Amino acid sequence: MAAGVHAIGVISDTHGLLRPEAVAALRGVERIVHAGDVGSPDVLRGLETVAPVTAVRGNNDRAAWARDLPATEVVEVGDALLYVLHDLAELDLDPRAAGFAAVIAGHSHAPRQEERDGVLFFNPGSAGPRRFRLPISLGRLTVEGGRVRGTLVTLEPRP
């Protein structure tokens, strides 16, 4: 595994909408993780113009193109392992015991991050269509050695 500092973009719940503000906010990352409810393969193609993409299937990703997306994924970044799924309620393992530094999930559309038992739980919120009064957001992770730090980024979409 490689040492150093790694910048990872995290996006979720785009529901077929890839905002130019999201693309701009993700520039400079070396990998993008999409935590489900992608909504369209065009979203993934657009993200791939920024960096390689790892995506999981969300509960609304039911079309034929989405069948190839896994329900969960493990991403190795430097000395850290990230566990990716769409809905945190479906987490069926002990991330600390399994050696994960972070768990990435979407689904709720509510941006949130907290550390539990030495593991970062990170939800970037939704970068897609606005839902309720929740912000439009995504996230960035900084991985250094085996440590992962998160930053939530609120997007200001053009009217």
pLDDT per residue over 102-141, tens digit each?
999 999 999 999 999 999 999 999 999 988 889 999 999 9
**Contact indicator for 33, 10 with CB cutoff of 8 Å:** yes
- Domain layout of the chain by residue ranges: 5-154
* Pairing between β-strand 80-85 and β-strand 72-77 as defined by DSSP bridges: antiparallel
**What value does the CA radius of gyration of the chain take, rounded to a whole number of Å?**
14
**Contact indicator for 153, 25 with CB cutoff of 8 Å:** yes
Task: Report the distance separating Cα 140 and Cα 87, nearest Å.
Answer: 19
CATH of 5-154, one of 2.40.30.170, 3.40.640.10, 3.90.1150.10, 3.60.21.10: 3.60.21.10
pTM of structure:
0.96
Q: What was the pLDDT predicted at 133?
A: 86
